[in-house]
């Protein structure tokens, strides 16, 4: 039993980047279930999908994949430990807290925030039980940055929406969230970004990348995600990442569809391209791009 627990512990940490103690407590509780649990409720899946869109391409090049040091997934919750720099924090607040009106909303419609025990930040969708806790940034840092954003937006025709009733949506937010609720069901492709977010550490634990960034390339109903990573040396750890992503117990329901490998990378402009599809949904697609470029990221696509 001890040997099996240790193997599960090491495997889980490849996906989450958790500390050994944190991972051990969760693995010990879940020996009968999946070591990396999926979000149990559609509202939680939607929140994590929207959060990944906000986190995937920070304006500042972070040290960790998309600025995420570690995640701690449970069926009904997700803890995300983020990098904490002034630029990354401002970027995160501005991209998550909703601002706008019926003509358009920036940020995540329906997102609200509260102080968690111990001074952490909890982000939640109004009117639901969906919530994510942020660690690595204190409530005082978060709320001060949010106040700066609110003071700026008060003078524009796009007021802050998170400062109202914590448990209810504005009419504008209800309109924007409606199509997400329409996607609920067995074929809903939002499990893909939620599942990747719960396994985001695989880009870091398989090697030490210069940077990892991502973006949503799909339309309103297609969850097509692209992640691009630059590694040092002349090869990238794509075989390890492929194995982790498609692992039957720890990974996601993805199938390797095609790969265009350019290793070794004698020319830093070349990239290996990896394409995944899913037997669960034709609307879920994942593309990985691995290269050995210099430290500068490419322009946003």
Three-state secondary structure of the chain: CHHHHHHHHHHHHHHHCCCHHHHHHHHHHCCCCCCCCCCCCHHHHHHHHHHHHHHCCCCCCCCCHHHEEEEEEECCEEEEEECCCHHHHHHHHHHHCCEEECCEEECCCCEEEEECCCCCEEEEECCCCCEEEEECCCHHHHHHHHHHHHHHHCCCCCCECCCCCCCCCCHHHHHHHHHHHHCCCCCCCCHHHHHHHCCCCHHHHCCCEEEEEEEECCCCCCEEEEEEEEECCCCCCHHHHHHHHHCCCCCCCCEEEEEECCCCCCCCCCEEEEEEECCCCCCEEEEEEEECCCCCCCCCC
Across-strand partners of 254? none
Three-state secondary structure of 52-102: HHHHCCCCCCCCCHHHEEEEEEECCEEEEEECCCHHHHHHHHHHHCCEEEC
* Contact (CB, 8 A) for 148 and 140: no
pLDDT digits (tens, 9 = 90+) for 103-153: 778 899 999 999 988 889 999 998 889 999 999 999 999 999 999 888 876
Residue 161 pLDDT exceeds 60? yes
Give CA 272 to chain center in angstroms.
22
Q: Which of 50-59, 84-93, 177-186, 221-230 has the lowest mean pLDDT?
A: 177-186
pLDDT digits (tens, 9 = 90+) for 82-96: 998 888 899 999 999
Q: What is the pLDDT of residue 129?
A: 93
Q: What pTM was estimated for this model as a whole? A: 0.91
Q: What is the pLDDT of residue 100?
A: 81
Residue 232 pLDDT exceeds 70? yes
Q: What is the pLDDT of residue 300?
A: 61
Region class of 185: left (phi > 0), else alpha (psi between -120 and 50), else beta: left
Over residues 271-277, the mean pLDDT reads 93
* Contact (CB, 8 A) for 156 and 11: no
- Residue 37 makes CB contacts below 8 A (sequence gap 6+) with 30, 73, 74, 75, 198
**Between vectors from CA 218 to CA 213 and to CA 224, what angle results, nearest 5°?**
60
Q: Which helix (H) or strand (E) holds 135?
A: strand 131-135
Q: What is the pLDDT of residue 185?
A: 57
Residue 286 pLDDT exceeds 90? yes
pLDDT band at 76 (very low <50, low <70, confident <90, very high): very high
């Amino acid at each position: 039993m001890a040997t099996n627990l240790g193997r599960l512990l090491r495997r889980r940490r490849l996906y989450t980047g958790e500390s050994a103690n944190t991972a051990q407590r969760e693995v010990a509780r879940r020996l009968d279930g999946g070591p990396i649990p999926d979000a149990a409720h559609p509202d939680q899946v939607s929140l994590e999908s929207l959060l990944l869109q906000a986190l995937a391409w920070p304006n500042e090049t972070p040290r960790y994949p998309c600025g995420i040091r570690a995640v701690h997934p449970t069926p009904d919750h997700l803890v995300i430990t983020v990098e904490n720099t002034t630029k990354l924090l401002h970027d995160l607040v501005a991209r998550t807290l909703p601002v706008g009106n019926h003509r358009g909303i920036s940020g995540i419609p329906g997102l609200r925030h509260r102080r968690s025990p111990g001074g952490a930040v909890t982000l939640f969708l109004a009117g639901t039980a969906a919530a994510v806790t942020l660690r690595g940034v204190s409530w005082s840092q978060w709320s001060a940055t949010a106040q700066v954003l609110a003071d700026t937006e008060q003078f524009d025709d796009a007021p802050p929406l998170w400062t109202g009733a914590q448990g209810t949506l504005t009419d504008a937010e209800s309109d924007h969230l409606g199509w997400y609720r329409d996607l609920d069901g067995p074929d809903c492709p939002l499990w893909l970004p939620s599942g990747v977010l719960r396994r985001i550490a695989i880009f870091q634990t398989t090697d030490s990348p210069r940077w990892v960034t991502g973006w949503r390339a799909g339309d309103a109903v297609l969850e097509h995600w692209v992640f691009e990573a630059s590694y040092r040396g002349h090869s990238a750890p794509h075989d390890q990442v492929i194995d982790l992503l498609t692992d039957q117990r720890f990974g996601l329901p993805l199938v390797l569809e095609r790969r265009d490998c350019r290793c070794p990378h004698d020319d830093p402009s070349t990239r290996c391209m990896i394409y995944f599809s899913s037997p669960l949904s034709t609307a879920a697609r994942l593309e990985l791009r691995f290269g050995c470029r210099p430290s500068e990221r490419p322009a946003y696509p």
